[in-house]
Structure 1
Amino acid sequence: MASHMPVNHPLRPIYRIVGGLSGLYMIVFGVLGAIRTGGEPPLGIGVGEVLGQGTNLANSLLSIVIGALVVLGTVVGRNADTIAYTYLGWATLVIGMLFLAVIRTDANVLNHSIITTIVWFVVGTLMITAGLYSRSAPADRSVATSH
């Protein structure tokens, strides 16, 4: 699959910005959620809402970790951003799908609401898209810059 992903895409800087902003959003959501639900049990159900999304301490910490890894990949560059965007974007989509399945049950341990799930889907999709177009390679191996 990696051989079919474009390298040195002309819009690569924009995709890196989109990926980095996705990670920053996850960090901001996580920090605000941790502040809001700090004194509550980590897996409390119905304990907090931040930016219109249901959350609890565990969900906030998970968001901080995912966002920090994405931002770290963005800062490091050298295709670490592509790896971070792709894998963490898919992880975000999988987490969103799992909690969509259990949203109104006691298994909803991260206190996801439907809005939280939609936001995680959007952020995950943005990260995957950024991962598809932010790869870099030496100019002699580039196909995108020769057009």
Structure 2
Amino acid sequence: MPHFPVNHPARPVYRALSALVGLYILVFGVWGTALTWGEPLFARDGSWALGLRTNLAFSLVSVIFGVVLIVGASRSNNLGHYMNLTAGVVFLVTSILMMAVLQTSANFLNFSMSTVIVSMVFGLILFGTGVYDKVGPEEHAEAERNRRYHPVAEIHRRR
């Protein structure tokens, strides 16, 4: 079973970080939608918003993702934990797949290399915030701390 810290002391910082990522994605999506409105959904022209290449489809998806991330960051339960873990994986997988088709006609979201890099960075940030954003009863948090500082764990750390 994976180890996710429960009630991490820096949890508010991680929630704020995921909210900032969500806010950037939302603003990017709204800006991109305004710039590409009236163009074909999967156009592959030179439309840029906030330093990233986009089309109407990518902008609309970004609006949805931005709202979802902000909602997840505003919740004080494990919803944000699971949403950030999932969004982190989605961003990482999407960036790798889009990098693989960057110079082909399969680049239907009109990604550029800068978009791939930003998506990877956002994926890593969201995955990291998801790992440390788990909430639980104090008993679970205490059990995690005891497991982390168990004498057997101390022996393995010294090696």
Aligned amino acid, residue 69 of structure 1: V
Does residue 99 in structure 1 map to residue 90 in structure 2? no
Question: Secondary structure of 1:108's partner?
Answer: coil
- In 2, Cα distance between the equivalents of 1:137 and 1:82? 11
* Mapped partners of 2:53, 2:30: distance in 1: 14
- 5+ long unaligned stretches in structure 1: none
Computed over aligned residues only, the root mean square deviation of the Cα atoms, in angstroms, reads 1.5
SS of equivalent to 2:43: coil
Q: Distance in 1 between matches of 2:145 and 2:19?
A: 23
Give the deviation of 1:46 after TM superposition. Answer: 1.9
Q: TM-score, normalised by structure 2?
A: 0.86
Name the SS of the counterpart of 1:141 in structure 2.
helix
Q: Aligned residue pairs: how many?
A: 146
Matches within 5 A, 1:115-130: 115-130=114-129
- The 2-side partners of 1:97 and 1:10 are apart by 32
4+ residue segments displaced more than 4 Å: 144-147
What is the Cα deviation at residue 26 of structure 1? 0.8
Q: Which has the higher contact order (CA 8 A, sep 6+)?
A: 1
CA apart distance, 1:69: 1.0
Could you say what secondary structure the match of 2:48 adopts?
strand
Residue 20 of structure 1 and its aligned partner are, at CA, apart by: 1.0
Q: CA offset at residue 145 of structure 1?
A: 6.8
Secondary structure of the residue aligned to 1:105 is coil
The correspondence of residues 1-147 of structure 1 with structure 2, limited to 5 A, is 1-2=1-2, 4-143=3-142
**Structure number with larger C-alpha Rg:** 2
Structure 1 letter corresponding to 2:97 = L
Identity of aligned residues (%): 38
